[in-house]
Structure 1
Amino acid sequence: MNILALQWSSRLRYDKGHIGSSLSMTQHGGKAPHLVELGSFLRSRRGSLTLEIARVTPRMQQRRVSGLRREEVARLANISVDYYIRIEQGRLLPTASVIEDIGSALSLEPDEVAYLKSLANYARNPSPPTPEPSCADEAEYPNAYLRNVLDQLTNTPALILGPRTDILAWNAMASALWLDLDRLLPRERNYIRLAFLGPGRRLFTDEDWEETARSCVAYLRRTAAVNPGDPLLAALVDELMDADERFAQLWDSRVVDRQDSGRKTVLHPKVGRMELEWNFFRYTGAPEQRLLLYSAVRGSESAWRLSQLLD
């Protein structure tokens, strides 16, 4: 059997709004798993869309369903009702243009449309080529160039993350900002795992942690769509589903928005409150790895506090 084919575990129910995380070879009722998830995603967004946002005038006062009806979405997308129903049921592979029309009808964000297209692309090509040997290295070892860059960042907290957000390398400033990463077991050095289960959660304000949680879950869901044959990724999702209620809620809500930069308020026990900017950087020589940097505005109080971390 081709273990690269997407397999969702039975513990996560499609019909109740769950996308499976584990990998097995079973089709869902004879349907392609990616198309089932595509349909589930559409149902989720259709059910949460208000008539006002969709600019739909209800034909009846009493409505038995929340959000839009299938026929209303079909009309807005300029496709037949039967065609849309089959898409939602996971029985039909839509074209990219149809996905865009449905996305417009449901007022989807660009990242959500991109997610649907990635699901359709994999359903269209269910047997991806065998990864090159270097791909395995990118999951376990930091790229030499990125490592060289990190080693020169002595005054900036920096991490190199692998495709599953495993922390492949870090500098002393990163350990001083969050926690001593050298003392963790290798399996514990995962950025998203630490965000939900590690002590670093206490360093954020509630609002900033919620933003972090949302972006982390969205990244994992997008990664699961394009890297469906990764049992370690599946194990990470399963662990977090069981261990953290908020992770499970966000996973079930199917957040997929992309965020590569932002600002956070860090409440550090040693140096106090800091307003930090964070950015992900990608290197074409190692597309599966990302360099995460934290910085403060030059000359600010936060910049001074950040410089005191190693003192």
Structure 2
Amino acid sequence: MKIPFEKKTEKRGNDSMIRIMIHTPVNLRGHMLDYLKNNLPNLEKKIGDKISLYTPHDLEYCSNCSEQWLGPSIEKGIFPDLMITHVPEFASLGNRVESGLFSDIAGQFASEHPVREELHMLTDPHGLFYPLFVVPMVMFYNTKKIKENELKHSWSDLFNEKFKVILPNRDKPLSRAVGAYLKHEFPDKFPEFEERAVYEGSPPSVIKSVISGEYDIGITNFSFAMMAEGRGIAINPPKEGFILLPQVIAWKKGADEKLKVIADLLMHEDMQNYLSKQGCWPALSGIPIHDMIAYNGRLENWQGWESYIEEVSEFDQYPGK
């Protein structure tokens, strides 16, 4: 169902205020905010408007302590001019094309800055999303509680009733992406999994719960898992490929094309190299990409943005515990 959208423009004196939403993983968000803040005077000069940076935790966008900011922003008339965000956020819209909310500036930018070959399938045929980078989702396990030969190195390991499984809170983008995949790929096993699995806390707290032995298997992003390896946990690489949590840039319908300078900045090799070092898969060609992309079955079997978003929406509507 399409969310009603009332277009409003915030004013600061005689100039319009450009709103930018940054909702990337928490371990990346701080650096990205600082990077944009440090370049803000130059960006404002190029654009000719004042820029205000937001996250879902800012009071204007926060709703019931949830990280889902998009719907409330439309209802309040504060829909951002530019968004750097997790794709699961768009599941609340229904059909993103029919919503009429987005500009095709992303498609123009993709023509000027083609996505690297390894991620080329993420290029949006509608030109509404530009894939800035991908965060791979991984399983990790307590090496004292699970021996490697007990694992199938498959997402089906999550359905082994011997293992206690924990994910971050159910409304976290990570959990929505993982839940969407599991529900779609394992429809017969998913109901039992939902009854048994625990959705609680943040990605860092999930890691602590597995390290402590309270849980056997957890799911987090690759960056957090890499940092925690060697502390009694190991990554369980799935033969099906890592679950994808794409991070995209999207522009509001009617946004000024000058806002492409923000995407230019985020595609600079400094930022893209930083993302690579954090275990993400950056969009810029020539930037090193972690060899874990070899487990790229989810990329090879990519079914498009509409399919991805619909699967997240179906998970969101699934009756939780």
TM-score between the two structures when normalised by the length of structure 2: 0.28
- Name which structure has the greater RCO, CA cutoff 8 Å, separation 6+: 2
Q: Computing the radius of gyration over CA atoms, which structure comes out larger, 1 or 2?
A: 1
Q: Which has the higher helix share?
A: 1
Q: Which has the higher strand share?
A: 2
